[in-house]
Structure 1
Amino acid sequence: MAQNLNPIPPDRFLWEERLPGGCHWSGVIRRGNALRLTDLSGRANVSALFYNAEEKLERYNMADTLKAQHTAYLTRGHALYSDMGHVLCSIVADTAGWHDTVCGVTSAELIRAKYGETSYQTHRNAMYRNGRDGLLIELGKWGLGKRDLVPNVNFFSKVVADEDGCLHFDVAHGRPGACVDLRFEMNVLVVLSAAPHPLDPRPDYAPGDVMLTAWHAGVPGPDDVCRNHCPENQRGFYQTEILFC
């Protein structure tokens, strides 16, 4: 469920950076810190991957995340699980209300077929970037590569299925200023691409900019909304916390 977000206390603020539409970013967010993603134009899509920064073979697992919480999309109260049953991060606040988990990222071939051919030589920073290459560029900075690409989250994008099982992108879902707050329960390598969603039907290549804002949020208490979302999350948080005893 969407909600209003509290302002970040100045004494807990860490850093802020603008991620231009189509571009990519990566960095380590430590346990107890949080990252706010803000859709600045209403056209943002943030394809995200998460890895245990201390053992990168452990990474976000889409299937376990969804089946543990009996959901097909993510919003406030949900935890993002690794393939070892630990909680990498959790969604503590969300004004968007729905984040796609199943559609993957754009490829160079898809972008070329939808929007036309561009290159850095001809268009410089206005070139049309795709999500897969953006994620691979960032993964390469950390010694990772193609084999480390796994199903990702697409923040700010809503995709629904019709009665025949066909997936449809909800163009009306995005709005300027929508935010999602991720609190990190481990030391996590975060890899982001702001390229368009693969099912976005709009004919123009105009992915929205995203503001990244980090702050110290602290660790969750016993009454935490994500911990108590379901019994599976209570077990997941316990399994994660004993790693840091």
Structure 2
Amino acid sequence: MIKASELQPEAAVYREVVPAGEYFMKEVKAGQTFRILDMQGNQAADTLFYSAADPAERYSAMDTVREQGNVYLTAGSRLLSNEGNVMLEIVADTCGRHDTLGGACATESNTVRYALDKKCMHACRDSWMLAVAEHEEFGMSKRDITHNINFFMNVPITADGGLTFQDGISAPGKYVELKAAMDVIVLISNCPQLNNPCNGYNPTPVEVIIWD
């Protein structure tokens, strides 16, 4: 569902441009709203959410899909944790839908999907592992890498119930906006994938904007 926001970037308390292939890791407080802005279009932002009070509580794709009865996320979707608590709600969305089934690229999947010589190409799971290693204050490790949302990524369900990667449905300036229902750790890998059309074969920056 397309729903525009009334929030203005000039009123934000925090802004950061995240280059392609880099990560973003920051706590967002309950009641704050944050936006992921697709600056140049067709860029996937692979995102994980954790409770800041206890990172063992984290976003659950299974619980979220089951409770909303829809495999896609958009305005109005409430993101549930593995403990059944609402973590965030998507309050604005100018893209229309986002994937939470396709998972994230890794060296292993690069090898299986593309070619052996693609194994060492940078991948979202590498970005997440680097993030948790460089931010010891959150007390997390690679064991905490779990279900993610692929904001802006187009992963249609095929007629036989499978998944396929297709050209993105986002465009320059499209965004998704979420309001935190609890203090959450937001961990984004701005996807570096070059081997499928999720980034238009040309990864580009996104911007994260936060309002009180």
Instruction: Give the TM-score normalised by the residue count of structure 2.
Output: 0.88
Q: Following the alignment from structure 1 to structure 2, what is the Cα–Cα distance between the partners of residues 58 and 36?
A: 22
Q: Following the alignment from structure 1 to structure 2, what is the Cα–Cα distance between the partners of residues 9 and 168?
A: 35
Give 5+ residue unaligned stretches, structure 2: none
Give 5+ residue unaligned stretches, structure 1: 120-127, 217-245
Q: Following the alignment from structure 1 to structure 2, what is the Cα–Cα distance between the partners of residues 47 and 25?
A: 10
User: What is the Cα deviation at residue 117 of structure 1?
Assistant: 5.8
Give 1:1-245 correspondences, 5 Å limit: 1-8=1-8, 10=10, 12-111=11-110, 113=114, 128-140=121-133, 141=135, 142-196=138-192, 200-201=196-197, 205-216=201-212
- Asked if 1 retains the 8 angstrom alpha-carbon contact of 2:193 and 2:201, the reply is no
User: What is the Cα deviation at residue 170 of structure 1?
Assistant: 2.9
Code of the aligned partner of 1:129: H
Q: Indicate how the Cα distance of structure 1 residues 118 and 107 shifts in structure 2: closer, same or farther if over 3 A, else same.
A: closer
- Asked if 2 retains the 8 angstrom alpha-carbon contact of 1:104 and 1:152, the reply is yes
Code of the aligned partner of 1:157: M
Identity of matched residues, %:
32
Query: In structure 2, the residue corresponding to 1:206 is in which secondary structure?
Result: coil
Task: List per-residue Cα deviations over 1:88-123 (Å, max 9, x = no partner).
Answer: 11100000111100111111244464696698xxxx
Q: Indicate how the Cα distance of structure 1 residues 203 and 143 shifts in structure 2: closer, same or farther if over 3 A, else same.
A: closer
After superposing on structure 2, the runs of 4+ consecutive aligned residues of structure 1 that deviate more than 6 Å are none
1:237 equivalent in structure 2: none
- Asked if 2 retains the 8 angstrom alpha-carbon contact of 1:106 and 1:198, the reply is no
Code of the aligned partner of 1:36: R
User: What is the Cα deviation at residue 165 of structure 1?
Assistant: 2.3
Q: Following the alignment from structure 1 to structure 2, what is the Cα–Cα distance between the partners of residues 62 and 136?
A: 20
Q: Following the alignment from structure 1 to structure 2, what is the Cα–Cα distance between the partners of residues 9 and 50?
A: 23
Larger Rg, first or second structure (1 or 2): 1
Task: List per-residue Cα deviations over 1:168-192 (Å, max 9, x = no partner).
Answer: 2231412111100011110101111
Moved more, 167-176 or 75-84: 167-176
Q: Indicate how the Cα distance of structure 1 residues 158 and 117 shifts in structure 2: closer, same or farther if over 3 A, else same.
A: closer
Instruction: Give the TM-score normalised by the residue count of structure 1.
Output: 0.77
User: What is the Cα deviation at residue 73 of structure 1?
Assistant: 1.0
Query: In structure 1, the residue corresponding to 2:13 is in which secondary structure?
Result: strand
How large is the Cα RMSD of the aligned pairs? Answer: 2.5
